[in-house]
Amino acid sequence: MALFGAHESVAGGLYKAFERIDSVGGESLQIFTRNQRQWKPKPLTQDEITCFKEAQEKHNAMPVASHGSYLINLATAKDELLAKSIDALELELERCSLLGVPYVVLHPGSHGGDGVEAGLERFVAGMDNALESGYDDVMLLIETTAGQGTGLGSAFNEIAYIREHSRFAHKIGVCVDTCHIFAAGYDLRSPEAYEKTIGELESTIGLEHIKFFHLNDSKKECGCRVDRHEHIGKGAIGLEGFKNLVNDSRFAELPMTLETPKGEDLAEDRENIEVLRGLIEG
């Protein structure tokens, strides 16, 4: 069975995310290691590192990913933004290495109107610049996107381009977001549509490179190119779409985390995880 979990807050300390994922019955976790809206957050303290690792050890090596800052745009043509983005990614890789977090999830960024080809070339160059810093114990996961505006990564072949043209392909995996691919036009709702979508993933990217999933229903219809997350089964993808995915043996035991709206009591995370587990056959 896939390892269902959620993105949880680190308010009160990074280690607190493990308490929160425990409280909702999760088996995988995504966090922000630092405020995702700051360019130069404070370095990790030794106390933070120690407390996080102690909590992680108690959770039997639960799969954990950090989501990179939303400010990062390695596809930009603006030199100052690119330099800040490279520095921010390097710092994220460093933090994850110190914490023992094996994955950093990153959006491919925006080409800013210069076209997909130019944007992808800049992204790969900037990404490789950051990956030169080392931290071989951390894998960068490129996230599929919905295709809003001038954003990259809504087509599977764009994700494939990034891996194929990087000097560090062995350090690059993929995070598939269900809302994003659905909004980008990849249907999941019927068995036939689902198999077509997974077939395209396999032929372009390769299923072996998929390391993480974000499970989000979509407020908008297939192909809308609008990124609006909804609770599982309450959006346009619907329960049948998620049933197809969670019963796919090719993704058994992969971490699948929610990024759906929730309140402080996390009741929505509990409900969504229960819904997902209820879709498992046999």
70 is catalytic: yes
Question: Tens place of pLDDT for every residue, the chain, 282 residues?
Answer: 899 999 999 999 999 999 999 999 999 999 999 998 899 899 999 999 999 999 999 998 799 999 999 999 999 999 999 999 999 999 999 999 999 999 999 999 999 999 999 999 999 999 999 999 999 999 999 999 999 999 999 999 999 999 999 999 999 999 999 999 999 999 999 999 999 999 999 999 999 999 999 999 999 999 999 999 999 999 999 999 999 999 999 999 999 999 999 999 999 999 999 999 999 997
Closest by CA position to 274, among listed 231, 240, 235: 231
> Residue 277 catalytic?
no
Q: What is the pTM of this model?
A: 0.98
Considering the candidates 48, 92, 143, 269, report the single residue annotated as catalytic: 143
Q: Is 259 part of the annotated catalytic residue set?
A: yes
* Set 34, 122, 189, 229: catalytic member: 229
Question: Cα–Cα distance between 158 and 180 in angstroms, integer?
Answer: 14
For 266, the token pair is 């996390």
Q: Select which of 7, 20, 34, 214 is catalytic.
A: 214
Arch. (CATH architecture) of 3-278: Alpha-Beta Barrel (3.20)
CA torsion, points 156, 158, 159, 163, in degrees to nearest 10? 130
Q: Where are the alpha helices (DSSP H) in 177-224?
A: 178-183, 191-204
214 has catalytic annotation: yes
Active-site position among 7, 95, 107, 231: 107
Is 170 part of the annotated catalytic residue set? no
- Based on the residue annotation, tell me whether 107 is a catalytic residue of this protein: yes
